[in-house]
Structure 1
Amino acid sequence: MIRNYFKIAWRNLLRNKAFSAINIVGLALGVAACILILQYVAFELSYDSFHKNGAQIYRVKQDRYNDGKLSTQWAAGAYAVGNSFKDAFPEVQDYVKLLARGKSLLDYGDRSIKLEKYYLASSSFFTMFSYPLIIGNPKTALNESNTIVLSESVAKRLFGNENPLGKTVRGNKRRPLKVTGVYKDMPANTHLKAEMLVSYATFQADVKPNDPETAWQWDGCLTYIKLRPGTDTKSLEAKFPALIDKLAGADHKKYKSAAVYLLQPLKDIHLYSHLMMEAEPNGDGKTVYLLLGIAFFIVVIAWVNYINLATARAVNRAKEVGVRKAVGSLRGQLIGQFMTESVLLNGFAVVLALILVGLALPKFNEISGQQLSFALLKSKIFWIPFTALFVIGAFLSGLYPAFVLSGFKPVAVLKGKVLATRQGIVLRKSLVVFQFAASLFLLVGTLAVYQQIRFMRAQSLGINIDQTLVINPPIVADDSTYMRQLAAFKDELLRKSNIEGVTASTVVPGQASDWNAGGIRLKGTDEAVGKQYRVIGVDYDFLKTYDLKLIAGRNFSKEFGSDPKAVVFNKMAIQQLGFSNPEDAIGKEIDFWGEIFTIVGVTDNFHQQSLRDAYEPLILRLIPDLRGYFSVKLTGGEAGSIIGTIREEWNKFFPGNPFEYEYLDDRFNAQYKADQRFGQVFGIFTGLAILVACLGLFGLASFTTAQRTKEIGIRKVLGSSVFAIVEMLYREFVVLVAISFVIATPLAWYAVSQWLDGYAFKTDLQWWLFLVPFTAVLVIALLTVSFQSIKAALTNPVTSLRSE
């Protein structure tokens, strides 16, 4: 019987090639889009899922309060947290402390390599986390000071085939470090990525006699704790304030500040944490699930196509059902036959979809910024939803048509009395409305994303980043000669005709300042009124090079001997200090961690970061011998020759340091890369959704037109023009798209409004964001049905009336 089902199903597919092709291609596109998104979602959800004890590991995040108000939220908190919690709470089984560090040079013999990122890590790192050691003892590898554990790829680059265990390497040309292990390269789906780990004991030795184990006012330590199985995290969190009050309460009361510590599940960090001093830029859970919703929309639209076309063709298959029933077929057998057709058609669609995914995956990786491959097909997290997608799709898309077709009465259909029912027509129209409402919703969302990105990039930043080359800070420098090197380097560059400015700073526009200074107040005021500010260390030329607008006071100047104790505030920082008029703040002295500085200038607010973030209270603090980023303002000319000239001077004054540069506008705009990628992915899948919907509409229009052939012939005989007939055929679809617009508009408005709320500076929701998608979808829908409608209207009425 099953064999017969498949044989008949195959014959039906071949007999109705056009409708079969429309269904298979539509389903294949829907399933392919769904597979791509499922791979992306599966990868994002898989972050840090490989840790054996991942469910017991939490990161301790820190919320800082000033005078009872939340001021900052940190991924990295006080240094004393891990050991203090372990000693005080039996629920805490173990802890790991990590201090993030940037670029470094590593030498062994005559080999030298540059590393992008590493961590100082406490001794429990390899016993808590499941990063496998290839060489070394996970329990002791990070116990001693001046020891280092390398990633497999770094060890290969530095030692080749030589066993690195016990060898001594040199960090930044100075510090000897003993290799105590090699770990497998950290996978892409972890929020901790490091090319090497240096023991935390090394840091402890460096800061003596200070003890970081009791430091509650030092911020910047990432702390992870492993809880005993069955621990209630909320109950444990409730115990933290009493301990903090006991150990650090005096300082908190003194400054009217407080630190609140909360637990973040390890698996939630990548998608749901966007705090200061994150280990790396994290993903966005809302975006991931929104893409999952798009995948659902597309595949449902494809299933709707199948249901629409199958039920629309019910009249053509009525006699087949009548004959089958007349010769003894039961309704259950007929349902089995039509479900088999659905399974067969969905099966072909899945095969075609896998081929399309294979072809599209490289381009999708380029757009999404991920490195997905079919290796993910080995994962349960992919196959479970994919199998469910196929089974549910084949079942749901085939179930309704099967019941409709199998329900025909044999006597009626054999007499030719089967007509399309009102319920069937309403269902088909409702499904078309759903398809186009979903398409309109997605199209509005796509336009809103692009409009917001365009808005952010078009706004004035309040700071000039054009024609600016940024050079990464020197890694190796002699402290005793650095000031002279710095001055000579700047002087040499400024002698070049195509360089008009050079400045050094701790960060450049587009970077968050991790220098967060609390307790800053006017000299002579109570310590309790101190507030938190972001601080950027700059040299004398920062304001001039970046064309920062002074609204009060003056720039830093070497003519004033006291300027090394000078600061410039931005407008927001002045307001936080208590001044509504910037002029009133000039000359005032502030207490900055026990040192007295004078406010010499106030700048207008400027965007240090993207327009996603609100203005922050910023202090520009003069540090003449600053070892930071170099910003070189260019005036034009041949880029290659300018860069070559700068490289020569760099190698002369900072030998042994890699010359790494980028254009600042590229660096700044990279902040919008995630939004741009999201917009591109959103746009591509929106286009696919519209294409799939139009495929179904084309098939439905073809069938509807064929059903009205005789009516069209009669109308032409009675004098209707071609235009009138085409208008009649268009009218139905125009009404359906209009209803879709009415449904989609409020939903899209709400969704886009919610999304825009995540931006401090955002575009307005304008009327054209909704009208343009409606017009586009309407035109696409009419073009889709035009071929069949015009063809039918031009057909000779004699041919139409002879159809029976």
Structure 2
Amino acid sequence: MLQNYIKIALRNIKRYPLRHFIHVFGLSIGITVCVVVFKLISFENNFDTFHQDADQIYRVNTMVDYGKKVASNPGTPQPLNEALKNEFPSIEITAPVYHAGKMIVRSGDGAKNLGASDFVSYVDNGYFEIFNYEWLAGDSSSALDQPNAVVLTVHSAKKYFGEQPLHQIIGNELLYGDTIQTIVKGVVVDLAKQSDLVFTDFISYSTVFGKYDADNANNWAGLSTQSQMFVKLFPEQEEAAREGLKAAHQKYVSADIDWIKGFNLEPLREVHFSSTYNGHVGDKRTLKGLMIIGFLILIIACVNFINLETAQAQLKSKEVGIRKSLGSSRKQLIGQFLMATYLIIVLAILSGILLSHLVVIYFQNLLPAGFDMSFFAMENLVFLLALSLLVLFFCGIYPALVISKYSPVKAIKSGKYQKFDINYFLRKNLIVIQFGFSIAFIIVVLAIKSQMDFLMNKDLGFEKEAIVYIETPYDADFNKNSSLKNELLTVPGVEEVSLSFDALMSGSLIIGSVAYEINGELEELDLQMKMSDTSYLPLHDVPLLAGRYFRNNKQEVILNAAALTKLGIDSPSEAIGNSLKYRDSDLLIVGVIDDIHTRSMYEAVKPTMFTYSETVYNVNVKLASEVNLATTLENLQESYKKIYPNEANDFQFLDEAVANFFKNEIRLRKILFFATALAIFLSALGLFGLVSFTISQRLKEISIRKILGATIADILVMVSKEYAMLIGISFLLAIYPAWYFLSDWFSNFHYRISMPVGIYLLSGIIALLLCLCIVLIHSFSAANANPAEVLKDE
């Protein structure tokens, strides 16, 4: 029987190729989106899940008071490691990790440059006890016991020592940077699976930290995202460990370090979605949005199938009547139709797998590194099977029930059953749902584009064009950076150079608490601090509202307008000459600037204090308006190498760094544009097939109307007005979900456009014109048909 079902299904495909092409192509698009979304979600959720006892591994985070809210910071004070290791029995293993970043590596005598390593870290043996690395050489239990030891991955070992046998590498010396002399103590296999632990060179933690580092051994206020800690708990000890962290905070963090509010545990599976070492952070909100988009696109594709099948159900009425007369039961007819539908779904899945590779190529720049579309894993096959059954349920059940219930007597007698008002009603509503989704997508895409255009063109308050910057080593002193500044000023095409703690617009945030006398009483205020030399603000063309720029004086500061508002000062000129108390120093306000954007547009401009400082790690360079960029950048890099020959940092453009603040929105816009195009295409494809069938069924009616005097315009209006009404209903239904999504999305931005009402109307007009074009193309052909030819058999 199954063989007969397949033969009948193949025969029908051959008999009605256009209808089945629309079915396969439409479903394949919906399946393609679902397949890509599933693979992406599976990829993002499988980072570091392969480690043994992964559910017992956590990262310790610090709860930090950022002024208006307390948030989790992945950094931890270095002495926390010793405290947890010695005092809390719920913790089995602790592993401090300091990410040193990119460093130049040379042979032990310093004579040979072996290249830069991007992911150098300082760890102890606990790291390799927690995380599962395969050791090829060295002793895993003691390799990092002593200072100046290093463990390499196979990648780094081959990079530094070529094809030399691994056991011969043990004992060789390597020089990291200018001063870190190490001896190779082990070689491990690179983590081949999805992992955020991207380190390739592991220097013993005791080389620079812990008991050998008197400055940081008891510094509970030292907090940096470079310094993190992982722990492995004993089974079912999470709650005890959390209580232990509370006790550690109360015992060791003194009251004057009031901005550290405590410590918490972050499960290893969640680390990928918060802060990682390679910069690729998973976004659960985006994944959830992609799931919704995939589901909606699949629904639209299924609606197409249901619409066309129920519309053409009457054509199958005689076949159904004959089969019932010959003894076929309704159950058998349902089975036959479901088999035919499943065959179409299988073809659509095969097409979808091929199309998914094209989608991945199109979105290659937006997808994470290492993402692939292989389908040989068992979970992929299970997903495809489950997806095929889900689509079969959506697409096949209702049409099968409709077709199988035809009465044999009426079907054979008239060649059709009857006019199914309920089916006609459902088809109209399904069209409304399809175009409702499409219109909602159009509204959202146009609104996001308007918001992004607004942000990208908004005046930031400073000049970002033709400015490049580069980071200097974290341990560089001010004198060396000043030498670099002087060196860069000699490069042709350079107008100005400035030293600062960070770029003018960056993700870093330093908060300082100052006191200001109001009505005879000192009141404290938290200000964002931007530290630099005297050229920082002039280099970025930041104008003064009052006063002057600060000089080489740590007691002189410049405030922005937001800071004046917080201090209760009415005008910029009134602020000049006033004093602020910061720690044990009196600060003199010498200048006021307007509010400039130093962070993302998600938040309001913070009250900010600009101050002179010699704690600088960033070099900012303003280029002349007409320079050869390639040559100038090459000269800048050469000058940088003169001062820091063993560093591998590169100059970056400030305007590109600013654009990176909107990378999530740019990604969202591209994804939604793609989803909108698919939704419109699928809706148009379904409408094309349905209108084609409907017009063919009304040819005789149209011909009779022409004979009775109806013009072509009358016929076009008659056919189109029903669909125009359906699009109008779709538009009304699309307004609320689009408004709801955009209201939530706009709320993330402090600076945003007002709700674009005109875009709603424009989206409805676009959908209406698209629908009318499809309907009129078919209607015009039918209206021009010769009535004599159409009615010659009557």
TM-score of the superposition, structure 2-length normalised? Answer: 0.91
Q: Does the 8 A contact of 2:467 with 2:622 survive in 1?
A: yes
Specify whether residues 81 and 734 from structure 1 end up closer, same or farther in structure 2 by C-alpha distance, changes over 3 A only.
Answer: farther
Give the counterpart letter for 1:393 in structure 2.
V
Q: Does the 8 A contact of 2:280 with 2:368 survive in 1?
A: no
Aligned to 2:4: 4
Counterparts of 1:154 and 1:629, CA distance in 2: 30
Aligned to 2:132: 130
Cα-to-partner distance string for 1:207-245 (whole Å, 9 max, x where unaligned): 732353x43322123232222222354x75456445422
Quote the offset at 1:552 in angstroms.
3.5
Give the counterpart letter for 1:535 in structure 2.
M
Q: Does the 8 A contact of 1:144 with 1:202 survive in 2?
A: yes
Quote the offset at 1:446 in angstroms.
1.9
Specify whether residues 656 and 800 from structure 1 end up closer, same or farther in structure 2 by C-alpha distance, changes over 3 A only.
Answer: same
Give the counterpart letter for 1:721 in structure 2.
T
Give runs of aligned pairs for residues 648-667 of structure 1, distance below 5 A: 648-658=638-648, 660-667=650-657
Aligned to 1:742: 732
SS, match of residue 58 in structure 2: strand
Report the identity percentage.
28
Counterparts of 2:32 and 2:736, CA distance in 1: 29
Specify whether residues 420 and 183 from structure 1 end up closer, same or farther in structure 2 by C-alpha distance, changes over 3 A only.
Answer: farther
Give the counterpart letter for 2:172 in structure 1.
K
2:219 aligned with 1:215: yes
Specify whether residues 357 and 483 from structure 1 end up closer, same or farther in structure 2 by C-alpha distance, changes over 3 A only.
Answer: closer
Find runs of 4+ consecutive structure 1 residues off by over 6 angstroms.
523-529
2:504 aligned with 1:504: no
Cα-to-partner distance string for 1:330-384 (whole Å, 9 max, x where unaligned): 1111111101100111111111122222334322223435543233x24455443
Aligned to 2:13: 13
Cα-to-partner distance string for 1:295-340 (whole Å, 9 max, x where unaligned): 1111121111111111111100000000000011111111111011
Quote the offset at 1:653 in angstroms.
4.8
Cα-to-partner distance string for 1:41-98 (whole Å, 9 max, x where unaligned): 222222332222221222233223389x635542223334344345444332222222
Counterparts of 1:206 and 1:512, CA distance in 2: 32
Specify whether residues 75 and 359 from structure 1 end up closer, same or farther in structure 2 by C-alpha distance, changes over 3 A only.
Answer: same
Aligned to 2:406: 408
Specify whether residues 576 and 238 from structure 1 end up closer, same or farther in structure 2 by C-alpha distance, changes over 3 A only.
Answer: farther
Counterparts of 1:398 and 1:483, CA distance in 2: 71
- Identify the match of residue 231 of structure 2 among 225, 238, 244: 225
Cα-to-partner distance string for 1:223-277 (whole Å, 9 max, x where unaligned): 32222222354x754564454223325335xx5x551323222212333x37xx9
Aligned to 2:593: 603
Q: Does the 8 A contact of 1:237 with 1:263 survive in 2?
A: yes
SS, match of residue 682 in structure 2: helix
Counterparts of 1:667 and 1:322, CA distance in 2: 69
Quote the offset at 1:16 in angstroms.
0.8
Unaligned runs of 5+ in 1: none
Specify whether residues 711 and 483 from structure 1 end up closer, same or farther in structure 2 by C-alpha distance, changes over 3 A only.
Answer: closer
Counterparts of 1:580 and 1:476, CA distance in 2: 42
Of 52-61 and 27-36, the range deviating more from structure 2: 52-61
- Identify the match of residue 154 of structure 2 among 137, 149, 152: 152
SS, match of residue 3 in structure 2: helix
2:765 aligned with 1:775: yes
Give the counterpart letter for 1:41 in structure 2.
I
Specify whether residues 469 and 150 from structure 1 end up closer, same or farther in structure 2 by C-alpha distance, changes over 3 A only.
Answer: same
Aligned to 2:284: 285
Q: Does the 8 A contact of 1:291 with 1:682 survive in 2?
A: no
Specify whether residues 381 and 144 from structure 1 end up closer, same or farther in structure 2 by C-alpha distance, changes over 3 A only.
Answer: farther
Q: Does the 8 A contact of 2:48 with 2:54 survive in 1?
A: yes
SS, match of residue 296 in structure 1: helix
Cα-to-partner distance string for 1:444-491 (whole Å, 9 max, x where unaligned): 2222332222121111111111111223426897x5962662353144
Counterparts of 1:135 and 1:525, CA distance in 2: 71
Specify whether residues 57 and 588 from structure 1 end up closer, same or farther in structure 2 by C-alpha distance, changes over 3 A only.
Answer: farther
Of 680-689 and 668-677, the range deviating more from structure 2: 668-677
TM-score of the superposition, structure 1-length normalised? Answer: 0.90
Specify whether residues 115 and 54 from structure 1 end up closer, same or farther in structure 2 by C-alpha distance, changes over 3 A only.
Answer: same
Quote the offset at 1:409 in angstroms.
0.8
Aligned to 1:489: 487
Aligned to 2:104: 105
Quote the offset at 1:4 in angstroms.
0.6
Counterparts of 2:578 and 2:202, CA distance in 1: 45
Of 295-304 and 566-575, the range deviating more from structure 2: 566-575
- Identify the match of residue 185 of structure 2 among 180, 193, 206: 180
Give runs of aligned pairs for residues 71-90 of structure 1, distance below 5 A: 73-90=72-89
2:789 aligned with 1:799: yes
Aligned to 2:703: 713
Q: Does the 8 A contact of 2:494 with 2:621 survive in 1?
A: no
Q: Does the 8 A contact of 2:467 with 2:620 survive in 1?
A: no
Quote the offset at 1:148 in angstroms.
2.4
Cα-to-partner distance string for 1:77-135 (whole Å, 9 max, x where unaligned): 33343443454443322222223333321112513312334332243112212344444
Quote the offset at 1:8 in angstroms.
0.7
Give the counterpart letter for 1:485 in structure 2.
S
Aligned to 2:60: 60
Counterparts of 1:698 and 1:483, CA distance in 2: 68
Aligned to 2:201: 196
Counterparts of 1:240 and 1:449, CA distance in 2: 43
Counterparts of 2:37 and 2:769, CA distance in 1: 28
Aligned to 1:393: 391
Counterparts of 1:318 and 1:423, CA distance in 2: 17
SS, match of residue 559 in structure 2: strand
Q: Does the 8 A contact of 1:53 with 1:129 survive in 2?
A: no
Counterparts of 1:592 and 1:139, CA distance in 2: 48
Quote the offset at 1:695 in angstroms.
1.1
SS, match of residue 150 in structure 2: strand
Quote the offset at 1:422 in angstroms.
0.9
Counterparts of 2:335 and 2:549, CA distance in 1: 83
Aligned to 1:755: 745
Of 339-348 and 88-97, the range deviating more from structure 2: 88-97
Q: Does the 8 A contact of 1:55 with 1:265 survive in 2?
A: yes
Cα-to-partner distance string for 1:552-602 (whole Å, 9 max, x where unaligned): 4321235xxxx1443333334455566565555544555555555444333
Give the counterpart letter for 2:392 in structure 1.
A
Counterparts of 1:800 and 1:794, CA distance in 2: 11
- Identify the match of residue 609 of structure 2 among 597, 602, 619: 619
Aligned to 2:776: 786
How many residues get paired? 785
Q: Does the 8 A contact of 1:467 with 1:636 survive in 2?
A: no
SS, match of residue 4 in structure 1: helix
Give runs of aligned pairs for residues 333-482 of structure 1, distance below 5 A: 333-368=332-367, 370-375=369-374, 377-416=375-414, 418-473=417-472, 482=480
Counterparts of 1:650 and 1:94, CA distance in 2: 42
Aligned to 2:328: 329
Task: Give the alignment's Cα RMSD to 1 decimal.
Answer: 3.0
Q: Does the 8 A contact of 1:502 with 1:545 survive in 2?
A: yes
Counterparts of 1:586 and 1:186, CA distance in 2: 58
Q: Does the 8 A contact of 1:173 with 1:476 survive in 2?
A: no
Counterparts of 1:628 and 1:802, CA distance in 2: 86
Counterparts of 2:359 and 2:730, CA distance in 1: 30
2:541 aligned with 1:547: yes
Give the counterpart letter for 2:362 in structure 1.
K
Counterparts of 1:279 and 1:787, CA distance in 2: 54
Aligned to 2:269: 267
Give runs of aligned pairs for residues 161-172 of structure 1, distance below 5 A: 161-162=163-164, 163=166, 164-172=169-177
Specify whether residues 103 and 572 from structure 1 end up closer, same or farther in structure 2 by C-alpha distance, changes over 3 A only.
Answer: farther
Counterparts of 2:172 and 2:750, CA distance in 1: 51
Specify whether residues 382 and 791 from structure 1 end up closer, same or farther in structure 2 by C-alpha distance, changes over 3 A only.
Answer: same
Of 546-555 and 334-343, the range deviating more from structure 2: 546-555
Counterparts of 1:504 and 1:66, CA distance in 2: 25
